[in-house]
Amino acid sequence: MASPLLSVRGLSVALTNRGPDRSLVSDVSFDLHEREVLGIIGESGSGKTVLSRALVNWIKPPLRISAGSVLYRGRDLLQLPPREMQRLHGREIGYVGANPGVALDPTLPVGHQIVEKLRAVEPEVSDREAKERVLKLLDAVRIPSARRRFDEFPFQFSGGMMQRALIVDALVSNPAFLVADNITQPLDVTVAAQTLRLLRDLQKDFKTAVIFISSSLGTIHEIADDVLVLEAGRAVEHQRLDALLRTPEHPYTRRLIEKVPRIWDAAMQGSQVPHESEPILRVRDIAKTYHVRDRRSLFAKRSVQAVRGVSFDVMRGENFGIVGESGCGKSTLSRLLSRIEAPDEGEIRFKGKDVAHLSSREMLSLRKGFQLILQDPFNAIPNHFPIGRTIAEPLLIHGMKGKREVRERVLSAMDEAGLGRSLYDSLPVGLSAGQRQRVNIARAMVLEPELLILDETLSALDAVEQAKLLDLFENLQAKHRITYIYISHDLAMVRRVCTRIAVMYLGRVVELADNRTMFFDPGHPYTRALLSAVPAIEERPYAAERYLLEGEPPDPVDIPAGCTFRSRCPFAFERCEREDPRLYQRDAANLSACHLVDPADRRADLAFAISARSVS
Amino acid sequence: MVFALDFFARRLGQGAVIVLLVAFLIFTLLRIVPGDPVRIILGPMTPPSVMEQTARELGLRDPIPVQFFGYLGHVLRGDLGHSFIRSAQGGNTGGSRGDTTHENQNRASVAGLILHTLPYTLQLAGMGVLFALLIAFPLGLAAGLNAGRWPDKIALYASSVMVSLPNIWLGVVFILLFSAKTGWLPAIGYKGFAYTILPALVLAIELAPVMMRSIAVSVAGNVLENYVDVGEVRGLSRWMIVTRHVIRNAAIPLLNLFGVQLIGMLLGGLFVVEYIFSYPGLGLLTINSVFQRDFPVIQAVAILASCILVAINMLVDFAATNIDRRLQY
Amino acid sequence: MVAEIALTSAPSRGAAKGGLTAAMLQMAWRAVEFRIALFVFAALVLLSLVGPFVFHVSATDFNIMQRFLPPMPLGGSSWPHVLGTDQLGRDLFVRSLIGLRNALFIGITSVVGMFVVGSAIGLTAGYMGRWADLVLMRITDAQMSIPVVILAITILGVSRPTPASIIAVLILAGWPAYARVTRSVTLAERQKEYVRAAKILGASDLRIVVLHIAPNILPPAAFVAVLDVARMMIFEAIFGFIGIGIQPPTPTFGTIIADGTQYLLNAWWITTAPGLLLAITLASINIMGGTLERARNKILQGIG
C-alpha cells in the first residue's frame, strides 16, 4: 500500500489546569490512507473530541499536546508555524463538529459565509465562481431550493440542513481529509441516517479520507472501513469493521459491543402488570395551535398546529410509549398531558375526570395523582435549596404542615429513589446527572402519584445510569402499581420497556401498536422509515435503501391537504393526495393512519400486500 | 420592507404613548409641587388680587386635566407657547421690574428659545460622544479581545477611575487647570468653537467608562462564541473573524445600551456640564427655567427630550434588527 | 470540546458551596484590587462614622482666624486641619467626612429602594407577560425618558430638599433600569425547566416567583447594584452643587465644591481636596462593583 496520508504517532494531550497535568489522550497511534474512512469510537469522556481536535492541531489552553506527532504528507502538523498551519486549515484539512447550530455567525446568510471561507482559503477564486461552486454543492447535498437557501440565515436552517451546509463548507475546498466529530449526534434518527448516507456518497465522489468520530457503534457501523476503539484516552484496539464486530480482541471492545442496544434481537422486559378494562388516562381528539407573528405581512399571525387531534387510552399499570422526531408535537403533548397548558379542543380524562374543567382546588388535588419528570437534570431542580427542601416542596405546596411528617415522607421518598439520606441537607451542587434525576424522581414520588409521565427523562444519561433508573422504575411499578408514559425519541429504550407505543408525525398519532407489532410488523411507512434509520449493528427487517425517507417533515404552519406524510412516502398513491387517512383498525389492538391498511380500500389491500411481500 | 413598515407602525404608536405619558407626568408634577409661578413672574410685592387675575389669565387655576388637554391642543398645532419669564427681546423680565401685568406678546416664544439653544447643545453632545468613542472604542476592543490579560486590566482601572470622577468636580478642576492657571482653553460661556472642548471632555469622561465596559464585555462574550473557535479551523484568519464577525455581533448589545442608557446619561450630563460652564445650551436654559418656574419651557424641553429618546431608541432597535435578523422574529 | 471538558472536570466548576452568589464572592475575593478597594472603602466608612468625634473640630462653626489654611504637607497648614480650611475657617476634612456620611447614606438607601421597587415590577411584568408586561414596560419607558436632572430639579427645586425627598427622587429616577433588567432575565427564566417542574407540582404563580425565580436572579443583580451606589453619590453631589441637595449648614460634597469655586484661584484646595476624597471613595466602590460584575459575567459565561 502507498504511504499513508496521515500518520499519527504517540499523540498525547494533557489538561494543564490548576494542579498536576491530567492526561486526556495518551499515546494514540494510527495511519489514515487516501480515501479511507476511519471510525473512532469512544464513550463520552473518552477524550474523543480532544483527539479529533489534536489531529488538526486545534488544541487550546488549558489543553496542551504533551507528546507525539501528526504527519500529514510527511510534514508534522504539530511542528508547523501558525501561519503554515492556518493555510492548511479549511483548505486541505476539513473539520465538521457536533454543534451545527452555532458553527456559523448567526447574523450573516449561510451561503455568504461559505463563500467567505472559500475565498479565504483560495483567494484566487472570484466571487462569482465561488458562489457557483457553493450552489452546486448545496444542490449536491440535496438542500431544497439551494439558490434561495443561499441567502438565508443560520436560524432559518433546521439542524439537519445546517449540518449539510457545514459538510458543504468543509468539502468546498476539496480537502485531502475530513475530521467529522460526532456530526449526527444532535440530529433525529432519520435525518442522521440521511446525513450519513450523504457523507458516504460525497466521500466517494471527492475521494476524501474521513476520520469519523462517534459514540455510537451503530452509527460507525454505517460508514467506517476501519475502527479505532478509544478507552479513557488510549487506543485499545484497531481493526477492520467486520472483524472488530466478529472477533473483538480487547475486553473493553467486547463490553462496548454488548452495550449496543438491540431492538430486534432483544426480548421485551417491561411491565407485566395485568391490564384493567378501565383506562387511567383517556385522551380524546386533543388539539393545540400556537399563534406566532407573521413577518411577511402587516399585523398578520401564523398558526402552528402543534398537536392535531390525538386520541389514545392508557391502561392502569402499563408502560405507554410516545415516540417521534423533533417537531412531531410530542413536547406539546407532554405539556398538555401534564396540564401546564390546556388543549384548544378535545378532552383529557384522568381517572374519569376531565382535567380541563376543574376548579383550581380540584386541579391541585388531582395533580397529586399524575406527575411529570423532565429531561434536563441540571435545570429542573433549584440550586439554592437543599435537596431535602426541594423534595419537600410538593408536600408544602399541597398543604402538608407537620415538620416531622414532611421529613419522614421526604426521607422515605429518598430511600425509594436510591438517594442516600445524608444528602438531605446538602445542596445539589456537585451531584451527577443520574443523582439529580433521582432527586427529580423522589420529588415526584413523594406525592405518591398513580401516573408518571417521563418526558425524555433518561435521554441525558449514559447507558449504565439509564439501565439503573429503568430498574428503579420497574421496582416502583411493582410496589405501587404506577402507570408510566414514556415520551422519547430512543426506540431501543421504548422497545425494552413499553407495552404499547404511539408513533407521532406532524402533530398526529400515525401508528398505535403493541410492542411486537410496532417493531416487527408496523402498518405505517413512517414507522418503517424510523426503524430503517436506527443505528444498529444487528440485522434489521427494514433496509434503509428501501424505506429511508428523503427530506424533512413539512412546516407545521402550511400543512398540505391529504395525507401529511405523502410528500416523503415511497408508497403514496392518488388517494393520499385527496384524503387524510384516519387511524384504521388493523386488528384488535393495532391502528395505523395509512390508506394502505384501510380494510375498505381493496386497492390498498393489494398495494399493502405488495409492499409486505417486498419486505420479507 | 413589510417588516420595516410593521416595525415603525408599532414603534411610532408606542412612542406616542410614551411621549404623552411623559408630558402628562411633567405637566402634573409642575403643578402639584409647591411654588407659584405667578409670584416669580410678577414679583413678591404684587397685590394678591393682581396675582389671582394673572394666574387665571394664564389658565393656572383651571383643573389640571383641563389645562393639560388645552396645552396638548396647542402643542399638536405646533404652538409650544410663550415663556412666563423671558422677554421677546432676550433677557429676563420678571418680578424685579415690578410689572403689574403679564402680556404674552412681550414674552419669548418657547419654540424660538429652543431653536436658539439647541444647536449649541447638539454641538456639545456630538463632540462629547466623539471624544468618548475615541477613548472607549480602542481600549474596550483591546480589553475584550484580551480578556483577563493586561489590556483588560488597564481598561478596568481606567474605567473605574473615570467613572469615579464626579462631573461637577472634574469640570471645576478642568477650569482650574486648563483655563484659569494655564490659559490653554476658554471655559465660561460661549464665544467660539473652542468653548466646546472642555465641557465636551468632561462629558466624554462621564460617558467613556460605560461605553468601554460594554464594548469589552460584549466583545469578550462574542470571542467565546463557538463560531469564532470554529472559524479558525474553517480557515478564516483571526483578523477576518474579528473585523467581519465579532465586531458585527458585539454591536447589537452596544446599540441596545446606546439607546437605553447612554442617551439618558448624555442628556443628564449635558444639563450639569452646561450649568458648570455656563454654556448657553438647552440644559442651562432648562435649569434656569426650573428655578424660575417657567412652566412652558420646562414642559417643552421634557417633551423634546422624550421625543429624542424615543426616536433614538427606535432607530437603534431598527438597526439592531438589521444586523441580526433573528430579532425580527 | 468546551462542553466535554466542563463535564469531565465538573467538580472544579461547582466547587463553591451555595451556588452562584458564593462563587461570585469567591472569584471577586481572589482579585487583589477587590481586597484593596474593600479595605479602602471600609477605612473611609469607619472614618466618616467616627472621624467627626475624634478630631474635636466643628464642621459648621466659623473661625475667621483660620480662614484659607492650605492642606497638610503645604506651608502654612496646621494640625488637625488635614485638608485645610475654607473661606469661613471651617475644617475641610471634617466637613468632607460628614458629607461622605450623608452621601453614603443617601446612595445606599436609594439603591436599596430602587432595587426593591424595580425588581418587584420587573418580576411581575416578566412573569405575567401579556398586558401587565405591556403596561408596566411602557410606564418604565416613559419614566426612563425623563432625564434624572430634570426630574430632580423639578421636584427638589422648590420644596425644601431633605434627605428623604432626595432619596425618593433618586428611587423614582432609578427604578426603571432595574425593572428592565429584571424583566428580561425573568422572561428567560420563565422558560426554564425548574419553573415548569414547579408548575407541574402545582405551585402557585406567587410561590414560583418568590421562592424559585427571585432567589435565582436577584443576587447577581444585587452585586452589580454596588456600582449604582457610586452613581447615586455622584447625583447627590450634583444636587448639592446646583443647590437642590441637603441644605446648609449641613455640609455636602456638592455645596463644598460649589462654594469653593469662588475662591478657585487663591484657595484651590477648597474645591479639589474634598472632591478627591469623594473620588477615592467612589473609586473603591466602583472597583468592588466592577470586580463583582466581571466575576458574575465570567460565571454566567461558564468559565472559571
Q: Read out DSSP for B110-127? A: HHHHHHHHHHHHHHHHHH
Assign residue B79 a region (left: φ > 0; alpha: ψ between -120 and 50; beta: otherwise): beta
What's the Cα-to-Cα distance from A549 to each of A162, A184, A295, A569, A610, rounded to whole Å?
A: 18, 16, 31, 7, 19
Backbone angles phi, psi at A211, to 5 degrees: -105, 115
Helix (H) or strand (E) holding B261: none
Spatial distance between the Cα atoms of C59 and A576, rounded to a whole number of angstroms:
94
Judged against a pLDDT cut of 90, whether residue C111 lies above it is answered with yes
Helix axes C92-128, C214-242, angle to 10 degrees: 140
Which of A509-523, B29-43, B169-183, C40-54 has the weakest average pLDDT? B29-43
What the block records as the C-alpha cell of A169 is 463548507
Helix axes C214-242, B263-277, angle to 10 degrees: 20
Residue to test with chain A: of B12, B227, B233, most A Cβ within 10 A:
B233
Spatial distance between the Cα atoms of B168 and C10, rounded to a whole number of angstroms:
50
Give start and end residues of each alpha helix (H) in chain B: 2-32, 37-42, 48-57, 64-76, 110-145, 150-163, 167-174, 197-223, 226-234, 238-240, 247-257, 263-277, 282-291, 295-323
> What is the model's pLDDT at position A363?
84
pLDDT digits 0-9 by tens, C35-91: 999 999 999 999 888 877 777 666 677 777 777 777 777 766 676 777 777 777 788
> What is the model's pLDDT at position A606?
54
Residue B88 pLDDT grade (very low, low, confident, very high; cuts 50, 70, 90): low
Are A299 and B249 an interchain contact pair (Cβ–Cβ within 8 Å)? no
What's the Cα-to-Cα distance from B52 to each of A24, A535, B38, B102, B132, rounded to whole Å?
A: 88, 91, 8, 12, 50
Spatial distance between the Cα atoms of B45 and C56, rounded to a whole number of angstroms:
46
Are B234 and A95 an interchain contact pair (Cβ–Cβ within 8 Å)? yes
Assign residue B3 a region (left: φ > 0; alpha: ψ between -120 and 50; beta: otherwise): alpha
Residue to test with chain C: of B160, B282, B307, B308, most C Cβ within 10 A:
B160
| C contacts of A182 (beta carbons < 8 Å) | none
Q: Which chains touch A (3 or more CB pairs under 8 A)?
A: B, C
| B contacts of C264 (beta carbons < 8 Å) | 172, 175-176, 180
| A contacts of B326 (beta carbons < 8 Å) | 106-107, 153, 155
> What is the model's pLDDT at position C301?
63
> What is the model's pLDDT at position A558?
75
Are A107 and B248 an interchain contact pair (Cβ–Cβ within 8 Å)? yes
Are C216 and A363 an interchain contact pair (Cβ–Cβ within 8 Å)? no
Mean per-residue pLDDT for C165-193? Answer: 88
C window 283-302, beta carbon within 8 A of B: 283, 285-287, 290, 294, 297, 301
Range with top average pLDDT, A253-257, C108-112, C254-258:
C108-112
| B contacts of A296 (beta carbons < 8 Å) | 2
Which of A460-464, B75-79, B140-144, B206-210 has the weakest average pLDDT? A460-464
Report which of A434, A335, A466, A390 is spatially closest to residue C194, judged by C-alpha positions: A390
Q: Which amino acid is at C14?
A: G
Give how far B240 is from chain C: nearest CA, Å.
Answer: 23
Q: Does C253 touch chain B (CB under 8 A)?
A: yes
Q: What is the ipTM of this complex?
A: 0.84
| A contacts of B252 (beta carbons < 8 Å) | 107
The torsion of the CA quartet B89, B91, B94, B100, rounded to 10 degrees, works out to: -20
Which residue among C147, C257, C301 places its CB closest to the CB of B224? C301
Residue of B nearest to A292 (CA): B329
Which residue among C17, C196, C202 places its CB closest to the CB of A398? C202
Scan for cell 424533512, then name that residue: A552
Helix (H) or strand (E) holding C152: helix C148-156
> What is the model's pLDDT at position B101?
53
User: Which residue numbers of B have CB closer than 8 Å to A's CBs?
Assistant: 2-3, 5-6, 9, 225-227, 230-237, 240, 244-245, 248-249, 252, 323-326, 328-329
Give how far A120 is from chain B: nearest CA, Å.
Answer: 6
> What is the model's pLDDT at position C96?
87
Backbone angles phi, psi at A485, to 5 degrees: -115, 115
* Burial (Cβ within 10 Å: 0-12, 13-18, ≥19) of residue A587: exposed
How big is the A-C interface in CB pairs under 8 Å?
A: 83
Number of domains in chain C: 1
Which residue among A17, A50, A338 places its CB closest to the CB of C1? A50
Residue to test with chain C: of B161, B165, B290, most C Cβ within 10 A:
B290
C window 24-53, beta carbon within 8 A of B: 33
Judged against a pLDDT cut of 90, whether residue B201 lies above it is answered with yes
- According to DSSP, the β-strands at A93-96 and A584-585 are unpaired
> What is the model's pLDDT at position A295?
63
End-to-end CA distance of chain B: 14
> What is the model's pLDDT at position A459?
79
Which residue among B3, B230, B329 places its CB closest to the CB of A103? B230
Q: Does A43 touch chain C (CB under 8 A)?
A: no
Contacts of A313 (CB under 8 A, 6+ apart): A279, A281, A282, A283
Q: Does A273 touch chain C (CB under 8 A)?
A: no
Scan for cell 461559505, then name that residue: A114
The overall average pLDDT reported for chain B is 85
Mean per-residue pLDDT for C275-300? Answer: 87
| B contacts of C268 (beta carbons < 8 Å) | 176
The overall average pLDDT reported for chain C is 81
Give how far A382 is from chain C: nearest CA, Å.
Answer: 6
> What is the model's pLDDT at position B142?
93
Domain CATH number, residue C100: 1.10.3720.10
Spatial distance between the Cα atoms of A517 and A286, rounded to a whole number of angstroms:
25
Q: Which chains touch C (3 or more CB pairs under 8 A)?
A: A, B
Assign residue C68 a region (left: φ > 0; alpha: ψ between -120 and 50; beta: otherwise): left
Give how far A440 is from chain C: nearest CA, Å.
Answer: 9
Range with top average pLDDT, A209-223, B88-102, C6-20, C148-162:
A209-223
- Prediction pTM value: 0.81
| A contacts of C195 (beta carbons < 8 Å) | none
> What is the model's pLDDT at position A370?
87
Q: Domain residues for C114?
A: 2-300
Share of chain B above pLDDT 70, in %: 93
CB B275 within 8 A of CB C120: no
CB A290 within 8 A of CB A335: no
Residue to test with chain C: of A393, A485, A487, most C Cβ within 10 A:
A393
| A contacts of B2 (beta carbons < 8 Å) | 295-298
Spatial distance between the Cα atoms of B114 and B304, rounded to a whole number of angstroms:
9
Spatial distance between the Cα atoms of C149 and B283, rounded to a whole number of angstroms:
10
Give how far C23 is from chain A: nearest CA, Å.
Answer: 12
What 3-state class would DSSP assign to B190? coil
What's the Cα-to-Cα distance from A365 to each of A128, A371, A389, rounded to whole Å?
A: 67, 12, 21
What 3-state class would DSSP assign to C62? coil
Can you list the positions of beta strands (E) in A152-256? 177-181, 209-214, 226-231, 234-240
Pick out chain A residues at pLDDT < 50. Answer: 612-616
Q: Does A274 touch chain B (CB under 8 A)?
A: no
Residue C112 pLDDT grade (very low, low, confident, very high; cuts 50, 70, 90): very high
Report which of B318, A184, B156 is spatially closest to residue C286, judged by C-alpha positions: B156
What's the Cα-to-Cα distance from A130 to each of A107, A119, A125, A186, B236, rounded to whole Å?
A: 21, 7, 6, 29, 15
Spatial distance between the Cα atoms of A223 and A454, rounded to a whole number of angstroms:
33
Judged against a pLDDT cut of 70, whether residue C7 lies above it is answered with no
Judged against a pLDDT cut of 60, whether residue B195 lies above it is answered with yes
Spatial distance between the Cα atoms of C90 and C101, rounded to a whole number of angstroms:
17
